[in-house]
Amino acid sequence: MRLFQNAGLSPAYFRRLGALARDQRTFSGRLQTFLSDRYGASHLLKPVLEGTPTAFFTNGDDPVLQHFWASENGLRKDSSLEQILLTQIEASVAEVFYNLDPMRYASEFIRKLPGCVKATVAWRAAPSPQADFGSYDAVVCNFPSILTQYRERGWRAEYFSPGYDPDMDTYAENVNRPIDVLFVGGYSRHHLRRAKVLDAVASLRDRFNIVFCLDLSRLTRLAESAVFRMLPSGSTRRRPRDTSAVSQGPVFGRDLYAKVASSKIVLNGAVDMAGADRGNMRCFEATGCGALMVSDDGNYPPGFTDKMTMRIYRADHEAIAVIEDALRNVEQSRRIAVQGHQMVATRYSKARQWQDFNNLVSRL
């Protein structure tokens, strides 16, 4: 199978990549810098991570990366990102196009693909009522309720899961974990339920080392600015005092791995639009790097089981009780964390993920 995998980057990670790759002047150099940082590695397929010659990967929304490729391959300087991506796919003679950024490259793009492409797959794990993915052969994610929404729109939808990054092995072995509770994630109007849990857990900061690495929304940053701080209308957008006190900036890639590997507990919580389904990438990163994941109640992927491979809370006050219990019962918590790591490293290995992908493509 000749594979072409495309991904997209968050605005905050663009800034990090710009700093990491500031001395790179080639497509391969900037791309290798990205791949070495392991950002989103749970979603990258085995041949991509291993550099297999029959697999081509790019971030189709990275103008620096894409214009490096365009310059190196004789395209016009004013070529659009879409034109560059289409040319890359044709040049790679890809048989399968797997897209992690279908909101940018939706059905209209798929209809322009070269004839070498025989199968198209899109990953999308969020409600997308205004999107059109109908030209893809399949839309995949690991949230059953979202897959049902896609099927109701007449699209083929299949269950597919993130995978365990083998580079997490070294991080999982770390036993020096000075952070008692870590949270890494976004903070915005889409996270109201999560924000209540965060503030409840932050109230433990006088007794435990609590660290939140938050990627703040534009509205939250604006509400907390000096100009708007005196306006009552922004109060619901601002972080409460305890949450602000334990907050740091966002972390990504290997910095995220290192942060998790320095933590006894990683707190997780679904965004408001997730419904009852669970299984965001943090589930795989927290257990993968050897921390005890404490997360909210819901429908988890196979293997994520309360008091066996993780701990579950059902309300903000219960999150506090679960965390206090876990920090008191050190040996039990470490045993659950180890079992969580063993589970995700085996059940969700890159080899199994790649086999599942091959099985999926064979059915299209």
> Which residues does 229 contact at the CB level (< 8 Å), separation at least 6?
223, 238
For residue 220, what pLDDT band results from cuts at 50, 70 and 90? low
Residue from 325, 283, 282 nearest 301 by CA: 283
Asked if pLDDT for residue 229 goes beyond 70, the answer is no
Alpha-carbon distances of 40 from 44, 177, 358, rounded to whole Å: 7, 23, 20
The predicted-structure confidence for 305-354, as pLDDT tens digits, reads as follows 999 999 999 988 899 999 999 999 999 999 999 999 999 999 999 999 99
Can you say whether residue 40 is alpha, beta or left, with left for phi > 0 and alpha for psi between -120 and 50 degrees? left
Average pLDDT, the chain: 92
Sign of CA dihedral 124, 272, 288, 309: negative
Residue from 236, 307, 134, 322 nearest 228 by CA: 236
43, two tokens: 């979603």
The pLDDT of 285-298, averaged and rounded, is: 97
The pLDDT of 192-215, averaged and rounded, is: 91
> Which residues does 179 contact at the CB level (< 8 Å), separation at least 6?
209, 210, 211, 259, 262, 263, 264
Q: In what order do the strands lie in the sheet with 263-267?
A: 247-248, 210-216, 179-187, 263-267, 292-296, 311-313
Residue from 160, 186, 224, 197 nearest 361 by CA: 160
The predicted-structure confidence for 143-163, as pLDDT tens digits, reads as follows 999 999 999 999 999 999 999
3-state class (DSSP) for residue 219: helix
Instruction: Check: CB of residue 355 under 8 Å from CB of residue 299.
Output: no
H or E segment to which residue 98 belongs = strand 96-99
pLDDT at position 226, please? Answer: 46
Going from the N-terminus, what domains does the chain have, and what CATH number goes with each? 3-163+349-363 (3.40.50), 168-347 (3.40.50.2000)
pLDDT at position 215, please? Answer: 84
Q: Where are the alpha helices (DSSP H) in 139-278?
A: 144-152, 168-172, 192-202, 218-223, 241-245, 253-261
The pLDDT of 278-283, averaged and rounded, is: 94
Question: How far, in Å, CA of 220 to CA of 182, rounded?
Answer: 21
Percent of the chain with pLDDT over 70: 91
Question: How far, in Å, CA of 137 to CA of 270, rounded?
Answer: 28
Q: What is the pTM of this model?
A: 0.92
